[in-house]
Structures are given as C-alpha cells and as structure tokens.
Amino acid sequence: MELKIAGLVNDSIVDGPGMRFTVFVQGCPHHCRGCHNPQTWTFEGGRTESTQEIFEEIIKNPLLDGVTFSGGEPFCQCAALTELADMILGYEGFKMNVMAYTGYTFEYLMENANAENGYLELLKRLDYLVDGEFEMDKKSYELKFMGSSNQRFIDVKKSLAAGEVILAHDPWDNIEIKLL
C-alpha cells in the first residue's frame, strides 16, 4: 500500500521512549497555531513510498525500540499505517513497539471510528498514543515527548480494554509519562 510521507528519521530519541524510527506523514487538517511542521499540512505535498519500502528501511536498524507515526496527521492514512504496523509487529528479527501522534483526542477517535476511516484498526496496533492538538498557550518545554500540557501520553492497549484513557508509564523508570 502507498503512504504519503513528509520524511523519515531512523534514529530519533525525541519521538517516544528509546530509539525510534519516525515516519512523518504528509497532510494534516488541524492547522494548530505554532505547529512545528506546517510544511506537512498540505495533502498535495510530500512524496509517496510503499509500506514495504519503509518497512525495509526500518529493519536495517536493529537498535530500534520502536516506530513512531507522526505528522502530519497519521489518522488520515489509517489503512496504510495499519498495514505498516502489522509488518513491524510481525517482524521476528527484533521486537519493536508502535506509537502515534494525533491531533484528534482518543475520545474523538473512539466515537467516530468506522470501517471507512479505519481509526479503530490503527488504534488496536498501537502501544502508545500522544493525543490532542498542539495548543500554543499550553506549550511547555518540561513535557516528555509532548508539546503542550493538554496532550496525553496514552497506554492504548490498557485504554481500549478499559474503555477510557489510561496514561502510559515510562518503560524504563515506570513513572507516568508527563514531565521530563
């Protein structure tokens, strides 16, 4: 399947726990004031790569702890990212977790999920989700992996099982991921 991307980073330590491969997708409908990546807003820009090509790039780096879908808005390309997540989670060479950023809230995605948009299928593949738009007046440099204090670092598996948001704990120090 084809994915519209803005770029790829193969050794990020700022897009989630550990060392991560980050896929920046192209296209975002949120247009948050103060967004760091406004070049990813247009759905016309970026470039197209297949999920297979991206997966082959990912598995070149055995030091990775996981893969992050960032943007842009990953939930505008759920079908391709679900396919890519399945490749990552099924890979037997080394274990990786999967995380996404979204400008939607977890509650919005759950309430609006349907077969056409594929929100739930992508959520089911995720270990972590950072949700909510970037809010300039809540911007903070103290937050770990988040830009503004309205955003939440969510344990998706636990949240889906509980039917409500459960915040994630840092896998290394076992504290709730909020502050640096």
Binding positions for ligand SF4, rule: CB under 6 A: 28, 30-32, 35, 37, 40, 71-73, 103, 133-134
Collapse the DSSP code of 67 into the 3-class scheme (helix H, G, I; strand E, B; otherwise coil) and give the result: strand
Beta bridge partners of 50: 2
Question: Closer to ligand SF4 at the Cβ: 127 or 131?
Answer: 131
* Minimum CB distance to ligand SF4, residue 177 (Å): 18
* Minimum CB distance to ligand SF4, residue 95 (Å): 28
Opening angle at CA 36, ends 8 and 24, nearest 5: 20
| Cα 153 to Cα 126: distance, rounded to the nearest angstrom | 12
Q: What number of CA atoms fall less than 13 Å from residue 121's CA on the CB side?
A: 16
Question: Closer to ligand SF4 at the Cβ: 37 or 50?
Answer: 37
* Minimum CB distance to ligand SF4, residue 133 (Å): 5
Q: What number of CA atoms fall less than 13 Å from residue 116's CA on the CB side?
A: 1
Question: Closer to ligand SF4 at the Cβ: 66 or 71?
Answer: 71
* Minimum CB distance to ligand SF4, residue 75 (Å): 10
Kind plus residue range of the DSSP H or E element containing 55: helix 51-58
Question: Closer to ligand SF4 at the Cβ: 138 or 169?
Answer: 138
Let me know: does 22 contact 12? Beta carbons within 8 Å.
Answer: yes
Indicate the residue type of 116: E
* Minimum CB distance to ligand SF4, residue 54 (Å): 19
Question: Closer to ligand SF4 at the Cβ: 17 or 71?
Answer: 71
Indicate the residue type of 114: N
